[in-house]
Structure 1
């Protein structure tokens, strides 16, 4: 899942979490009878009104993020998050919300409201933790930029739909605002060059072709003109004529700005970019990276601890490879196992798309039988299995999309089969456990059904979301789905990438590793180099973001082990899963406090 409402390109969480204002303090309602229902309702009303105001302010500040999360109210706005004056106003709003939240008496709140209170406190404190760092001076990278995001919307197949005249007008409005955004981005990058806050040169070299491809000589050849070629037949002749005219005019004004951006990046910015790799090399960079870690992992873990955890996990998984290789017929070094598997025809058995889908349908049926023994809290929404449309297969990967909150659309697991003969079978089980059920579907579909306020319904954090999905993969062993060595290899192979991320990200941003060191470590550790460069450069552009996956999964596993050890025969796996999922997405520190209270209550 992508991350929204960030202050800038490096603040990559949608709704950010951190050490709570009331860390270690039990989030329990006041004793029964001590607080009247009227007083509780008044405090609840104030809290929910503040939460809605906070969410709407974030959505206006980063309206494209709101679009990505399914909130279409601001689809005609681009936002001014990179404009210094608007950025300052937003931080002032966060301080005001923090003050107003503190004025609400949390001892007079219900259990559900207490959780909303503490999550909102987490998010506000982390958002404010970024104020010392000039994230707006890094407005673009190869991973993230407004022009490329809007270009991806032009097909109407992405997060911003293009099926009605109103939607066409909303996207047009964004195109009309983009030249102003581009000029501010250039001004910000110039200031970054002056103050020593630039992107690493290597990732901007990788990014440059993206921006050059957006430049065209005539509007009709621009990707931003694509919607005109797809005007629905149901539109009136007058609407078609007006939209064609207005899109042509908007794109004609946009093209010089896109050309300015591409030229500036190539001729001015790249030559001035830093040759170093990690965020620690920019002014105040170590503190900046520490804030990013606290944000993305929702913990107080240090880079040193995370790095050591990554090395330990890599060694554990490679130890499993050593035992698994002979079961598959491989006798070489553990690091060579992934490449060897990729060369074995028996692990690529498919001839048609339907054969791929048949495996997933069979697995879905098996899980329908096995999961009720592990879960009593299940989403009402169904999970559909569909093939990715041909239009987007070349750029998509297997993924999950959430159901509609009104029940009109199910959750969907999309399998991307560009060539059945190249679709490997070994990773299918672990992939479906992650993207389908009990991974993203059991978590995200349930979020739509919990009656949460918008800031939580449309928000969240990667550490919990991806941590839960990675934890869900591990349940395959208990369900005996990994008794097939090939499927267990697929699970371990995916785990190894996530463990490697812990080593590489902290290596570059806290320990002085170069880009080349990172690429080489990934090649040596993963046994293949297909993703070493792109993954390394991803971590350079988004410091700390890739840490969230494994850190989240390890925390959930740790909490389960703690509960099992403390409760013994009183431990119930379905009850544990209900505790993890039942209150929606939480920062890991709040989740840990919740599980500890649950353990204490069950021990009696």
Structure 2
């Protein structure tokens, strides 16, 4: 799952409505807080209309984000005003659930301001300007929440606003790191083909016999293609030569605050790094011992290569992913791991070109308020067509058959797809529409290890090695993210670290290290997993003989994607202990 937070809502509230509100009992809904939540999300949708579409709220389908400098400055002031209002409400009487939601929203706004003001991602990373418009169009195309012709009208409306986004990118960017620009070029060139082929073919079918509608689309789409061609050329010929490598680090203070605001984790960075390195050593030692079970005559790296020798072909990659679903789903049911509230399966397909930001697989699900379009997409990233044979081979090795099963556990069962299936049961609007990565990615990563502990794979050391390979990958992210952004580790050093400590092929190691350049706190996979294991043991002690793994999992996923610190307050009444 790639989105850090997804936010949505409906109504507005005037400032005066919050002034002089009478106190309410803590067990009664606070109308002023409920109205604030509405206004907060309404303001967010005005800022990010594409996220409204993703949420299943379609009154914003014809709008696209305003990426101008002026819009960013207005958003900053709006968030500051909302933040002050929330602080006033928190001084009043709120119910338990309202206090949880208020703290979530408070941290969410702090995280947004940290990103907009302190880090300034909109001024240093071109990737969002490239991927955002294509994603907004794709969300209208791929989910059938309205008749195709009606959705095409919204597509056209958004297409007309895309060239302005590309203009804003050129005006806003100031000295972006080379690593960000390289990825933006790849994504931009992929987006050209997306608009020329995928969008055009869909629109032609959606228009049917309405030649006027198709012509309007063709005019708007041609302008988008031209703007992306110009952007790709500008990024490659004008911007890239001015960029410098290894200028991505945000520093210790910014890193610590990002982690605090997004994940509610305030562990000192030196202690956090020690935790990550210790967990990596533990998994590394297990990896070495497991590799010896498979072939004691070979090094661990050679044994991993034996596994990765058996991988899908480029043509069979998506079909191979599809073949993993039923076996894993059946195991969940037979072993009572977690209740599956739906018979619907995810759709497995290639990651869209505009979204190929260095990740290898992801889950794209409809929002909690979507009532008609239920399609969830399990994306697997294929090799790029212009890669040479060696790089393609290295990429496909990552999807060797045992690892592909573990990837499906992470993305689908019991990972992100299960979280999606429970989304409509989340108890509040805020929890339906926001999440933290340490929860959602931590849960999916926890699922990989937990499934094998519960017997998946029947003790096959190859499956165990695959799971440990994925664990080492996340452990390396933990360490590399901290070291690259706070201790001067270079991209080259990070790549080497993934190769040596994570047994990754060079091309995979490079992609992983480069991701850490623009995603500093991608330690949240291992961080969240460790927090969930700690919570589980304390929940087990609380429940005693009544403890059930299935009940624990059901209870956990029903709370939504709150940071584990807040989940602990819900599941461990009166808890004040550390989450890790």
Sort the TM-score into its range (normalised by shorter chain).
0.7 to 0.9
Structure 1: distance between partners of 2:43 and 2:277: 41
> Cα 1:382–1:569, aligned 2, differ >3 Å: closer, same or farther?
same
1:384 alignment partner in structure 2: 345
The equivalent position to 2:181 in structure 1, one of 204, 224, 229, is 204
The equivalent position to 1:294 in structure 2, one of 242, 246, 260, is 260
SS of the residue corresponding to residue 318 of structure 1 reads helix
2:239 matched to 1:269?
yes
The equivalent position to 1:52 in structure 2, one of 24, 32, 38, is 38
2:70 alignment partner in structure 1: 85
2:517 alignment partner in structure 1: 540
2:94 matched to 1:112?
no
Gaps of at least 5 residues in structure 1 are: 4-11, 17-35, 193-197, 216-220
2:157 matched to 1:173?
yes
2:391 alignment partner in structure 1: none
Deviation at 1:498, TM superposition (A): 0.6
Deviation at 1:462, TM superposition (A): 1.3
> Cα 1:66–1:478, aligned 2, differ >3 Å: closer, same or farther?
same
Deviation at 1:360, TM superposition (A): 3.5
1:487 alignment partner in structure 2: 463
Structure 2: distance between partners of 1:406 and 1:173: 21
Deviation at 1:464, TM superposition (A): 0.6
Of 170-179 and 151-160, more deviation after overlay is shown by 151-160
Structure 1: distance between partners of 2:374 and 2:139: 23
Of 291-300 and 462-471, more deviation after overlay is shown by 291-300
Whether contact under 8 Å (1:78, 1:174) holds in the other structure is yes
2:506 alignment partner in structure 1: 529
Whether contact under 8 Å (1:522, 1:532) holds in the other structure is yes
Deviation at 1:534, TM superposition (A): 1.4
Q: After TM superposition, list the pairs within 5 Å mapping 1:134-533 onto structure 2.
A: 134-141=120-127, 144-146=128-130, 149-150=133-134, 153=137, 158=142, 164-189=148-173, 192=174, 198-212=175-189, 223=195, 227-231=199-203, 235=207, 237=209, 240-254=210-224, 257-280=227-250, 285-343=251-309, 360-371=325-336, 375=338, 378=339, 380-384=341-345, 387-388=348-349, 397=361, 399=363, 401=365, 414=378, 424-453=400-429, 455-482=430-457, 483-527=459-503, 528-533=505-510
Structure 2: distance between partners of 1:417 and 1:269: 27
SS of the residue corresponding to residue 345 of structure 2 reads strand
Structure 2: distance between partners of 1:304 and 1:77: 45
> Cα 1:233–1:62, aligned 2, differ >3 Å: closer, same or farther?
closer
SS of the residue corresponding to residue 513 of structure 1 reads coil
Structure 2: distance between partners of 1:151 and 1:385: 19
SS of the residue corresponding to residue 279 of structure 1 reads coil
Cα displacement string for residues 233-272 of structure 1 (whole angstroms, at most 9, x for unaligned residues) = 67463xx322233233324444554354334323432222
2:50 matched to 1:64?
yes
> Cα 1:177–1:302, aligned 2, differ >3 Å: closer, same or farther?
farther
Cα displacement string for residues 132-170 of structure 1 (whole angstroms, at most 9, x for unaligned residues) = 3323212413xx433674178469655798952232121
Cα displacement string for residues 25-79 of structure 1 (whole angstroms, at most 9, x for unaligned residues) = xxxxxxxxxxx99756875222122112111211221222333444433222222
Whether contact under 8 Å (2:166, 2:228) holds in the other structure is yes
Structure 1: distance between partners of 2:510 and 2:318: 30
Gaps of at least 5 residues in structure 2 are: 9-21, 384-395
Deviation at 1:359, TM superposition (A): 5.5
Aligned residue pair count: 543
Whether contact under 8 Å (2:438, 2:524) holds in the other structure is yes
SS of the residue corresponding to residue 301 of structure 1 reads coil
Structure 2: distance between partners of 1:436 and 1:561: 25
Structure 2: distance between partners of 1:571 and 1:591: 17
Deviation at 1:92, TM superposition (A): 2.3
